[in-house]
């Protein structure tokens, strides 16, 4: 880590002056305003890294309680992280340093809380790591289990806006916790996880119930040597499920910034489901999914459900009910939840848990209402009814129990009693006590949900057609 104080032509003159007055209170500087981080893969990228800047979710979180750095004038911190071995180097520059009432932030200590042992002391040592640790990834995954290969074609745009296609072989390797290689690799990935995954904390890789799924890109260099580059990874915990089963819970997933929005995260998620099905675990769950990941997850699951024949009949029945006149004119508006038998079939065959299936169920109905414009009012009605029950059901005198209309195989409609399960995510929306404001909040939630469904449905429909070999504009 390099640290230097930048000189000024007026420094000596300032030192000669004697002033009497009030000392200036140190307002500090927010970490996000003085720190820039680059993820680079070579010395050339180190020298011209502008295209490889990364944007942490919350840098301020690592500096004091208020996220500020104190005691410096003109502070600028530049950090480079190697995407080869994930060592890091920080260059710290400032005009002056003094205690102006709030102390002087220990920058080295603060940076080490993020980068730990990966933070090297000098630029030369950092650049040397590119050659010395060129095989870092290959060495640490060499004893892992290769689960799946896939060829990816990636469009590359140069500085002149010319595009070209580059094909690469991508594979997913499984590493099990409790061994040295897994611990070595994960310890180097912790800083990027802390910086890029909101609310993340390190896992205990000494616990053999943890598994890492590493997405690697295999390329051949000019000497004909096969090189491995990291695209992303996920951390999954294997829980015991009574009496003799297990559940897989996805705790962390990260695709490096330069590889995002190119299908690699979806590929990794599909591999995780393949593992869950092949090993016949009870189900596959996700710990506190962020919005973007939940969008990808629901796209993947809805696409799988579109190909799952056992539920197509009940989806068709639910859709047909929404096409029978305007629901606003009826005294009772159904929620159209799937029967419990379908929920169980989906869990057993696809390993999609109930809560996630219900998210996808609404998308399946939306896709089935083609043309959607003709039935939008009815669709919004059932979403509105579901949102109201989820948020106000218990307070509206039902004591957590609600009566739902459900399509059934043995008769046109049936009714079931439903109680929210303790292990499902509870409603955390704070509703205003004022009824008018409450209704406005509900309508906003309904609109947000309908927009989410629309975006997912459009993406799923596109992918579904592509999988069938239909050209999509």
CATH of the domain at 145: 3.40.630.30
Q: In the predicted model, what is the mean pLDDT of residues 417-443?
A: 57
Please indicate, yes or no, whether residues 88 and 144 belong to a single structural domain of this protein: no
Q: Which domain holds residue 464?
A: 306-398+436-468
The answer to the question of residue 82 being in a domain is: yes
pLDDT tens digits, one per residue of 141-152? 999 999 999 998
User: What is the pLDDT, as a whole number, of residue 440?
Assistant: 85
Q: By percentage, how much of the chain surpasses pLDDT 70?
A: 80
Please indicate, yes or no, whether residues 140 and 256 belong to a single structural domain of this protein: yes
Mean pLDDT is lowest, of 25-34, 57-66, 327-336, for 327-336
User: What is the pLDDT, as a whole number, of residue 155?
Assistant: 58
The answer to the question of residue 175 being in a domain is: yes
pLDDT at 252 over 90: yes
Counting every residue written for the chain, the total comes to: 473
User: What is the pLDDT, as a whole number, of residue 452?
Assistant: 95
User: What is the pLDDT, as a whole number, of residue 371?
Assistant: 83
The answer to the question of residue 409 being in a domain is: no
pLDDT at 466 over 90: no
pLDDT at 293 over 90: yes
Higher pLDDT, residue 430 or 313: 313
pLDDT tens digits, one per residue of 107-138? 999 999 999 999 999 999 999 998 888 899 99
Q: In the predicted model, what is the mean pLDDT of residues 203-225?
A: 90
Domain boundary pick from 262, 288, 314: 288
User: What is the pLDDT, as a whole number, of residue 152?
Assistant: 86
Label each residue of the chain as H, E or C. Answer: CEEEECCCCCHHHHHHCCCCCCCCCCCCEEHHHHEEEEEECCHHHHHCCHHHEECCCCHHHHCCCCCEECCEECCEEEEEEECCCCCEEEEEEECEECCCCCCCCCHHHHHHHHHHHHECCCHHHHHHHHHHCCCHHHHHHCCCEEEEEEEEEEEEECCCCCEEEEEEEEEEEEEECCCHHHHHHHHHHHHHHHHHCCCCCCCCCCCCCEEEEEEEEEEECCCCCEEEEEEEEEEEEEEEECCCEEEEEEEEEEECHHHCCCCHHHHHHHHHHHHHHHCCCCCEEECCCCHHHHHHHHHHHHHHHHCCHHHHHHHHHHHHHHCCCCHHHCCCCCCCCCCHHHHHHHHHHHCECHHHHHHHHHHHHHHHCCCHHHHHHHHHHHHHHHHHHHHHCHHHCCCCEEEEEECCCCCCCEEEEEECCCCCCCCCCCCCCCHHHHHHHHHHHHHHHHHHHHHHHHHHHHHHHHHCCCCCC
The answer to the question of residue 24 being in a domain is: no
Please indicate, yes or no, whether residues 148 and 119 belong to a single structural domain of this protein: no
The answer to the question of residue 344 being in a domain is: yes
Q: In the predicted model, what is the mean pLDDT of residues 8-12?
A: 52
Please indicate, yes or no, whether residues 47 and 172 belong to a single structural domain of this protein: no
Specify the number of domains making up the chain: 3
List, by residue number, the catalytic residues.
287
CA distances from 418 to 55, 114, 406 (A): 44, 46, 11
The answer to the question of residue 413 being in a domain is: no
Please indicate, yes or no, whether residues 310 and 254 belong to a single structural domain of this protein: no
pLDDT tens digits, one per residue of 59-95? 888 887 788 999 999 999 999 999 999 999 999 999 9
Q: Is the pTM of this model over 0.85?
A: no
Please indicate, yes or no, whether residues 67 and 212 belong to a single structural domain of this protein: no
CATH number at residue 45: 3.90.360.10
Please indicate, yes or no, whether residues 319 and 351 belong to a single structural domain of this protein: yes
Please indicate, yes or no, whether residues 365 and 450 belong to a single structural domain of this protein: yes
Please indicate, yes or no, whether residues 41 and 84 belong to a single structural domain of this protein: yes
Q: Pick the most confident of 223-227, 384-388, 443-447.
A: 443-447
pLDDT at 16 over 70: no
User: What is the pLDDT, as a whole number, of residue 90?
Assistant: 96
Please indicate, yes or no, whether residues 81 and 145 belong to a single structural domain of this protein: no
The answer to the question of residue 171 being in a domain is: yes
Please indicate, yes or no, whether residues 325 and 216 belong to a single structural domain of this protein: no
The answer to the question of residue 265 being in a domain is: yes
User: What is the pLDDT, as a whole number, of residue 153?
Assistant: 77
Please indicate, yes or no, whether residues 140 and 278 belong to a single structural domain of this protein: yes
């Amino acid at each position: 880590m390099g640290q230097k104080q930048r000189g000024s032509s007026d420094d000596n003159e300032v030192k000669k002056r004697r002033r009497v007055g009030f000392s200036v209170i140190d307002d500090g500087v927010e970490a996000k305003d003085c720190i820039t981080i680059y993820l680079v893969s070579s010395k050339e990228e180190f020298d011209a890294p502008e295209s490889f800047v990364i944007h942490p979710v919350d840098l301020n979180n690592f500096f004091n309680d208020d996220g500020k750095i104190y005691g410096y004038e003109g502070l600028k911190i530049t950090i480079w992280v190697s995407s080869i071995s994930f060592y890091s180097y920080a260059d710290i520059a400032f005009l002056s340093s003094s205690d102006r009432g709030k102390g002087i932030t220990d920058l080295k200590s603060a940076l080490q809380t993020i980068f730990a042992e990966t933070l090297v002391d000098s630029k030369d040592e950092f650049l040397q790591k590119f050659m010395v640790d060129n095989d870092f990834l290959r060495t640490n995954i060499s004893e892992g289990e290769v689960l799946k290969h896939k060829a990816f074609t990636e469009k590359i745009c140069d500085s002149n806006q010319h595009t070209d296609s580059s094909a690469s072989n991508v594979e997913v390797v499984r590493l099990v916790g409790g061994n040295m290689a897994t611990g070595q690799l994960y310890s180097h990935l912790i800083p990027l996880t802390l910086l890029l995954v909101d609310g993340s904390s390190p896992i205990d890789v000494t616990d053999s119930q943890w598994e890492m799924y590493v997405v690697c890109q295999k390329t051949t260099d000019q000497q004909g040597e096969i090189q491995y580059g990291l695209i992303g990874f996920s951390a999954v915990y294997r829980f015991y499920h009574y009496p003799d089963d297990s559940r897989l819970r996805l705790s962390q997933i990260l695709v490096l910034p330069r590889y995002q929005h190119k299908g690699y995260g979806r590929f990794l998620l599909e591999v995780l489901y393949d593992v869950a099905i092949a090993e016949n675990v009870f189900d596959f769950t996700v710990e506190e999914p962020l919005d973007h990941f939940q969008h990808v997850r629901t796209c993947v699951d809805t696409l799988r459900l579109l190909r799952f024949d056992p539920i197509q009949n009940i989806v068709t029945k639910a859709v047909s009910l929404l096409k029978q006149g305007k629901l606003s004119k009826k005294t009772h508006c159904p929620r159209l939840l799937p029967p419990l038998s379908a929920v169980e079939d989906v869990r057993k065959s696809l390993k999609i848990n109930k809560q996630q299936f219900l998210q996808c169920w609404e998308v399946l109905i939306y896709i089935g209402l083609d043309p959607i414009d003709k039935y939008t009012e009815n669709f919004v009605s059932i979403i509105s009814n579901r949102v109201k029950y989820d948020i106000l059901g218990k307070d509206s005198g039902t004591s957590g129990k609600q009566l739902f209309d459900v399509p059934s195989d043995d008769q046109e409609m049936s009714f079931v009693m439903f109680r929210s399960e303790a292990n499902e995510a509870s409603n955390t929306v704070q509703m205003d006590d004022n009824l008018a404001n409450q209704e406005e909040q509900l309508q906003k939630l309904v609109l947000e949900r309908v927009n989410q469904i629309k975006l997912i449905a459009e993406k799923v429909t596109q992918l579904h057609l592509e999988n069938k070999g239909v050209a999509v504009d």
